[in-house]
Chains A and B, each alone.
Chain A
Amino acid sequence: MQTFMKDRLGWFVSIILFILVLYPLAAVIIQVLLPGVFFGNWQLGDLALLLEIFKRPLWQKSLENSVVLGLGTTVLATILGGVLATIRANWSFPTAKLLDASVWLLIITPSFILAQGWVLFAAGGGIAVNLLGWHWVTSAVFQPAGLIFIMTLSKFPFAYLSVHAAMEWKVDQLSHAARLSGASAFTVWRTIQAPLLMPAVWAGAALVFMDTIGDFGLPASIAAVYRFPTLPYSIYSAIYTSPIRFDMAGVLSFYLVLLIGIAMFVQFYAMRRSRFDFLSARAQRSVPKPAGKFAVLLTTLNLLFLAVVIGIPIGANVLMSIFKTQSGGMKLANLTLEHYRELFHSSSTLLKGLSHSLMIAGVAALLGLLFGLCVAYVLTYSQFKFKRTIEVFSVVTLAVPGVVLGIGYIFVWNQKWLDSIGLLLYGTPWILVLAAIAGAIPVITRLMVGAMAKVPLSLLTAAQLQGGTLASRVRFILVPLIRGALLSAGLAAFGSSVFDLAVNSILFPPNFLTLPVTINKAFEDLDFGYASAATVVGSFIVIMIILAVELMLRRKEANT
């Protein structure tokens, strides 16, 4: 009975993942083999298209750029994130909490907004040139090394979180033994501590690589000033160039998925070689030591670092929203609140778009949380045969460009026969909810799995022996224990869905504008003031909602 129950949950999770992620993705790739299949047209595709990537200059360049950007960013961001996490876990200093907050802010803020911020800052006629007179910035940023630098500053949080989480517990007995045997501090770090951290480093690196190589926002924003085609961007142009070539998009997506597959394989291989079941009863929660005389230095460096990673991309948006003209610079005469007034003007579509986006993100966060709980439960406690498969597909949407998933969603949810059973979801807001859930699954499940790993199965088994059902065990034992993680996961999912651009821009129903589409349209029309003001107001409201929910639920948690 018990295995049946667990398998039932396993199958349920598999089916939902299939519908939300695998089927739409497969639909796009099927286009390569059978281009007309979704229009009722059986005809074999041209498989030679698969080899064109080695012939067409644009595709070759895109592949090359993606690999260079992906590898460069992975190396730098993993080092940066690892070093920061090590410092943060070992020493306490003022403003350290700000670093944690910034890391979350960077994960939640969509890359197109970060990238727009960097473009506003660094482009010719941007803030760096106009305000600070730093003419060198433009050429330094808009070249491959510069883009890797920007990417590193946006993606290091994945490595940071992963490594930081791994340092939560430490088992000093091994290090003590080594020191007693005469090893130097460095040898201990090199031969004991570092190897124990390797799985976390690899996991962080893999996340950075996948998120970088699948990132569409940065190349899209950068393309406005500098030509740097990447795979997601070429997929975008294949889908958005008349005559539309979904088969080409399918081929390019195939290579993207292949690259991600390689990254995952490397990660699993590396992790298999490291033993990480070292936690024992003697494990202690690691507490950062006071930094002492280095506190001032660490605080200063931290603030400088935050001024760059948060100050530039977010600050550029804020500045732009109060400038009359971009070229006017920081003069009193050039400051205005006009753009904010425009937002609340009667003809403005912003508030409507914002309310739509908040609604969709809210529903998606709640449903996604329920589903994420199921996925994590299966991954953590069940013996389900296809556990590994579920694990892989629960992170795929992190890497697949939203436009690809969006097109897949149209194929899947716009078939005539669905109308007869009331499931023709394309053209309704529900499709945005589904897509938002798909986008939020990786973050939710990663956080849930991390939290559940700390709750031993024995607690649940004990309750089961007393006759508790699966639902009651989850409700009365598991959920209270991981409440904090549930809250974080739900809020992270909410925050990231509000601004999710790529999926929105292809799926929004008639007369149903959403916030990211409104913002992007303004950016495209070079209405920077309006776009920045909309970004600032939108982010402010989202952050307020997140804080309010935190305050309400966390306090309740403390009281109970």
Chain B
Amino acid sequence: MKTNGKRWLGTVLLAGLMALTAACGNGNAGNTNKGAANAGNTQTTAPTEEAQATETAATEDKGTLTVYLNDFDSIIAPLFEEATGYKLEVVAGNGAEIMSRVEAEKGNPHWDVIWLDAMPSIYGLGASGQLLEGWSPNNVANLTDFAKAFVPEKQWYVPTGAHAAGVIVYNKDKVKAEDAPKSWEDFSNAKYKNMIGMADPAIAAPAYPFVSWFFKEKTNDGGQTFFSSLMDNGLRVYPKNPNVVKALAAGEISIAALQESNAYAMKNDNEPIEIIWPAEGAPASVRVAAIQKDTKNPNAAKAFIEFLLDPKTQQALIDQGDESYFQPSVNGVNAKQDRAADAKLVAADASWASENEAAIKQWFADQSVK
């Protein structure tokens, strides 16, 4: 019996090892060999897609434009097709899911355009050489002064709008107007103990821009002190903004830092809440669009970026979209009527936010389980 058991264990180990080595070998050797063999073949026979793409990239598209996005998935394709005649396929998911796909596909990307409200993460894609550089759409001229500040030096992406990643929201039935917090600093006040909630920067796309602004303004140590004081004050961290909405509605919390579309939606649903735009500004989540470096559909991709910077498009997103509360990035567009006139947005520098993303998120995740 005993020897049998050992033999069995040995088999598993051996098989495992063999598999590992085989897998490693396959991964690369296979890659380069086949690639080289193909390159050779293409000279005499039909050209492969890859070879064609480099030769004729400037003139012809090779397939259907694929856009990875986290909002507006149901309305954007028909709008774009109507405006330009190009077909469009979307892959929709939350910000984290989309970024994870992009990363896993790094060796062979399946997307042409990425359009997310996660500017630091997209900046990171640019910095690691995955985005088309140095191309500027004509419609960039339409950008507002506020939006122009977000265009990176190498023109990796364009901003298509910005929304408050967090405004102060309180339940009118639980907190009197004069007792409500007016600024972010008030959140650490002991009278709000166990009353406040927010979304998790590790999971919700807009929550990292929210958190990173504090870290940038107060420096790393100051940011840690600030959020530690909130956590000591019983801050509750929910995975996403809709969960914060739910907790507010159920009375689990009575004050929150809430993404603005969610906040206005609650108000429109007649939930007893009030929205405060703090005077120092609401940290903004900037939605940006970028083209993949080796896209096989450069014409459609560029047309899509131009389309997003068209005032008509942004107006349509505000009028018909599900995330319709945002500050447009081009002139000549009217934001939602009921969006506060004094809405002040502030944002951390994208390159700084990108560089510090891992450290800040890890610190936050570790703090919130303590």
List A residues at the B interface (Cβ < 8 Å). 18, 22-23, 26-27, 30, 34, 37-40, 42, 56-58, 61, 123-125, 223-225, 227, 229, 237, 239-246, 268, 272, 327, 347, 385-386, 388-389, 392, 407, 410-411, 414-417, 419-420, 424, 426-427, 505-506, 508-511, 521, 524-526
Q: Which of B38, B110, B208 has the most CB of A within 10 A?
A: B110
Size of interface on B: residues with Cβ below 8 Å to A: 74
* Interface residue from B89, B96, B105, B251 paired with A240 (Cβ < 8 Å): B96
Q: Nearest-CB distance from A483 to chain B (Å)?
A: 32
Q: Nearest-CB distance from B342 to chain A (Å)?
A: 29
**Across the interface, do A386 and B15 meet the contact criterion of CB distance under 8 Å?**
yes
**Across the interface, do B89 and A510 meet the contact criterion of CB distance under 8 Å?**
yes
**Across the interface, do A224 and B5 meet the contact criterion of CB distance under 8 Å?**
no
Tell me the residues in window 4-46 of chain B with beta carbons closer than 8 Å to chain A beta carbons. Answer: 5, 8, 11-12, 15-16, 19-20, 23-24, 27-28, 30-35, 38
Minimal Cβ-Cβ distance residue in A for B122: A242
Within 8 Å CB of A34, what residues of B? 24
**Across the interface, do A125 and B246 meet the contact criterion of CB distance under 8 Å?**
yes
**Across the interface, do A243 and B243 meet the contact criterion of CB distance under 8 Å?**
no
**Across the interface, do A23 and B19 meet the contact criterion of CB distance under 8 Å?**
yes
B177 within 8 A of A: no
B186 within 8 A of A: no
In Å, the complex CA distance between A386 and B8 comes to: 8
Within 8 Å CB of B247, what residues of A? 124, 225
* Interface residue from B28, B96, B239 paired with A224 (Cβ < 8 Å): B239
**Across the interface, do B90 and A124 meet the contact criterion of CB distance under 8 Å?**
no
Tell me the residues in window 76-134 of chain B with beta carbons closer than 8 Å to chain A beta carbons. Answer: 89-97, 99-101, 103-108, 110, 118, 120-121, 124
**Across the interface, do B93 and A505 meet the contact criterion of CB distance under 8 Å?**
yes
In Å, the complex CA distance between A99 and B94 comes to: 39
List 15 A-B residue pairs with CB atoms under 8 Å apart, sorted by A's residue number. Answer: A26-B19, A27-B23, A42-B28, A124-B250, A124-B251, A227-B369, A386-B11, A388-B8, A410-B104, A416-B50, A417-B38, A419-B49, A420-B48, A510-B89, A511-B90
Q: Nearest-CB distance from B41 to chain A (Å)?
A: 9
In Å, the complex CA distance between A124 and B252 comes to: 7
Within 8 Å CB of A389, what residues of B? 8, 11-12, 15
Within 8 Å CB of A125, what residues of B? 246, 249-252
In Å, the complex CA distance between A308 and B250 comes to: 24
Q: Nearest-CB distance from A18 to chain B (Å)?
A: 6
B163 within 8 A of A: no
**Across the interface, do A524 and B94 meet the contact criterion of CB distance under 8 Å?**
yes
Q: Which of B166-174, B284-292, B307-315, B358-366 contacts A (4 or more CB under 8 A)?
A: B358-366
* Interface residue from A237, A385, A392, A416 paired with B108 (Cβ < 8 Å): A416
B242 within 8 A of A: yes
**Across the interface, do B369 and A58 meet the contact criterion of CB distance under 8 Å?**
yes
**Across the interface, do B99 and A244 meet the contact criterion of CB distance under 8 Å?**
yes
Minimal Cβ-Cβ distance residue in B for A419: B49
In Å, the complex CA distance between A224 and B11 comes to: 43
Determine the main DSSP class of B at the interface with A: helix
List B residues at the A interface (Cβ < 8 Å). 1, 5, 8, 11-12, 15-16, 19-20, 23-24, 27-28, 30-35, 38, 48-50, 66, 74, 89-97, 99-101, 103-108, 110, 118, 120-121, 124, 202-203, 208, 237-240, 242-243, 245-247, 249-252, 357-358, 361-362, 365-370
In Å, the complex CA distance between A525 and B103 comes to: 25
Within 8 Å CB of B368, what residues of A? 227
Q: Nearest-CB distance from A406 to chain B (Å)?
A: 9
**Across the interface, do A240 and B97 meet the contact criterion of CB distance under 8 Å?**
yes
Q: Nearest-CB distance from A539 to chain B (Å)?
A: 24
A392-B12 in contact given A124-B250, A125-B250 (Cβ < 8 Å): yes
20 more contacts with CB within 8 A, not counting A39-B107, A57-B370, A505-B97, are: A23-B19, A30-B27, A38-B106, A61-B369, A125-B250, A125-B251, A224-B238, A241-B361, A241-B365, A245-B358, A386-B15, A389-B8, A410-B101, A414-B110, A415-B30, A416-B107, A417-B35, A420-B38, A506-B101, A510-B110
**Across the interface, do B369 and A30 meet the contact criterion of CB distance under 8 Å?**
no
In Å, the complex CA distance between A240 and B74 comes to: 23
Within 8 Å CB of A411, what residues of B? 104
**Across the interface, do A58 and B23 meet the contact criterion of CB distance under 8 Å?**
no
Within 8 Å CB of B239, what residues of A? 223-224
Within 8 Å CB of B12, what residues of A? 388-389, 392
In Å, the complex CA distance between A49 and B332 comes to: 51
* Interface residue from A22, A38, A385, A511 paired with B19 (Cβ < 8 Å): A22
In Å, the complex CA distance between A48 and B368 comes to: 24
**Across the interface, do A57 and B99 meet the contact criterion of CB distance under 8 Å?**
no
Within 8 Å CB of A40, what residues of B? 28, 31-32, 107
Q: Nearest-CB distance from B235 to chain A (Å)?
A: 12
**Across the interface, do A23 and B251 meet the contact criterion of CB distance under 8 Å?**
no
**Across the interface, do B38 and A244 meet the contact criterion of CB distance under 8 Å?**
no
Q: Nearest-CB distance from A470 to chain B (Å)?
A: 24
**Across the interface, do A241 and B203 meet the contact criterion of CB distance under 8 Å?**
yes
A241-B66 in contact given A30-B20, A38-B27 (Cβ < 8 Å): no
**Across the interface, do A511 and B357 meet the contact criterion of CB distance under 8 Å?**
no
Q: Nearest-CB distance from A197 to chain B (Å)?
A: 21
In Å, the complex CA distance between A392 and B92 comes to: 36
**Across the interface, do B357 and A243 meet the contact criterion of CB distance under 8 Å?**
yes
Within 8 Å CB of B242, what residues of A? 524-526
Q: Nearest-CB distance from B3 to chain A (Å)?
A: 12
In Å, the complex CA distance between A123 and B11 comes to: 48
Within 8 Å CB of A246, what residues of B? 103-104
Q: Nearest-CB distance from B272 to chain A (Å)?
A: 12
A243-B358 in contact given A57-B369, A125-B246 (Cβ < 8 Å): yes
Minimal Cβ-Cβ distance residue in A for B18: A18
**Across the interface, do B369 and A420 meet the contact criterion of CB distance under 8 Å?**
no
* Interface residue from B20, B28, B107, B245 paired with A414 (Cβ < 8 Å): B107
Within 8 Å CB of B208, what residues of A? 242
A506-B97 in contact given A42-B28, A415-B108, A526-B246 (Cβ < 8 Å): yes
A241-B369 in contact given A416-B35, A416-B108 (Cβ < 8 Å): no
**Across the interface, do A347 and B74 meet the contact criterion of CB distance under 8 Å?**
yes
Within 8 Å CB of A511, what residues of B? 89-91
* Interface residue from A22, A37, A241, A426 paired with B28 (Cβ < 8 Å): A37
